[in-house]
Structures are given as structure tokens and as C-alpha cells.
Amino acid sequence: MDKKKIEQSTEDKILAAARKVFVAKGMAGARMQDIADEAGINKALLHYYFRNKEKLFEMIFVSAAQKLFPRVNTIFESDMPLFEKIEKFCEQYMDVMMENPYLPAFVLNEINQDPGTFLKKIWGKENLPRPQKFLEQIEREVKKGTIKKISPLHLLMNLISMTIFPFVAKSMFQFNMHLDELQYRSIMEQRKKEVPKFIIDSIRK
């Protein structure tokens, strides 16, 4: 194996280890030593590849965010029926959140510090959210009388809030409800079906 492949393999190993540690301990609780131990390397080598945990965290979770938005735009701009679109939106959003449960808190923190720079970083030009077709579809369904009268913007905000908030408040839910990681993940799996069902039932005529 040449040097370039060895370096790529080591970097991939570090990123996999860091993702595991961040998911288990969060940004604040994770230490570089934890990540080095998980990757099976010494701390000096870890610092050779990534100088601090913030850079590692950003690389992992900005990458995750960049995967999510194209999926969401594909759903927004598809020709699938509204109810199916709501189901797919919840499924895709929550799948990414479950793979990266600290992503929402990270995004909120970065947005509060420097919204313009961060949003450009995760969206770029290609990944800008494009909900217009989805909002117009809701408006058409309201006019046709197939769903109750509702603001398209509020429906979209309901979708986003109900899918994201349980991850933003993950620690609070686990602590107050005495949920271990397995129990929490099981509830989130159920929620992928519960959220769209709740929203569809609330607007269906």
C-alpha cells in the first residue's frame, strides 16, 4: 500500500472513531484521547491529521449536513403525492439525525455564532433548500379541498420542528424519561412513522 493510501486509511479510521465518540459523548464530553484510543492510534498521530476536536467535529457533521439537504430537495421537487412526500421527508430527515444525533445542536450553535459563514459552508450554491414546489403543492391541495386549510409555511415548520427537536433535546429526554441509548433509538425509529401519521391525520379531510 502506498503512502497516500495509508494516509487515507488512517484518516478514515480516525473519522469513524471520532463519529462513534461524538455520538456517545457529544462535542463537550469527547476528548482527543478518547478518539485516539477508539482509532487505535497515539494522540500525536491524531494531532498530525487533525489539530483539534472542533475541526474533526466540523468535518464529520458538516459532511452529514451536506448529505441531508440534497435528499430533502429531491423530495421537495419530486412529483410524488403530498402525503407520501411528508412521509419521505420525515424518514430521510430522521435517518440522518439518527446517524448523527448531535448534528442539530452543532448546527444551532454554529448558526448562533456566525450564521452567514456556516450556512454557506453547509449549503454552498447547490444545496440551498428549495421548498417552493412543496409549499405550492400544499396550497393546491388546500384549494382542491383535499386537506384542511393550513398555511404551507406552518406545515413545513411543523414537519421540521417535530423531526429535529427530539434530537436537539436528546439529553433532556434521556435524563427525564430514564432512557438508555437503545431505548431512545427505538423511540426515534417509531417516531419516523408517528410524526408523518400525526401531521397527515391533522390535515386530512
- Specify the higher pLDDT residue, 202 or 64: 202
pLDDT confidence tier of residue 5, bands split at 50, 70 and 90: low
| pLDDT value, residue 200 | 97
| pLDDT value, residue 154 | 97
3-state class of 88 per DSSP? helix
For the stretch 39-66, what's the b/e string if a residue is b when 16 or more beta carbons lie within 10 angstroms of its beta carbon?
bebeeeebeebbeebeebbbbbbbebbe
What is 1-51's CATH number? Answer: 1.10.10.60
Mean pLDDT check: name the lowest of 48-57, 66-75, 135-144, 194-203: 66-75
Per-residue pLDDT reduced to its tens digit, 152-163: 999 999 999 999
What are 147's strand-pairing partners? 204
* 119 residue type, one letter: L
* 106 residue type, one letter: F
| Helices and strands counted in the chain (H then E) | 11, 0
Instruction: Please state, in angstroms and rounded to a whole number, the distance separating the CA atoms of residues 43 and 54.
Output: 15
Residue spans per domain, the chain: 1-51, 61-203
What's the CATH number of domain 61-203, 1.10.357.10, 2.40.110.10, 2.102.10.10, 2.40.170.20? 1.10.357.10
pTM: 0.74
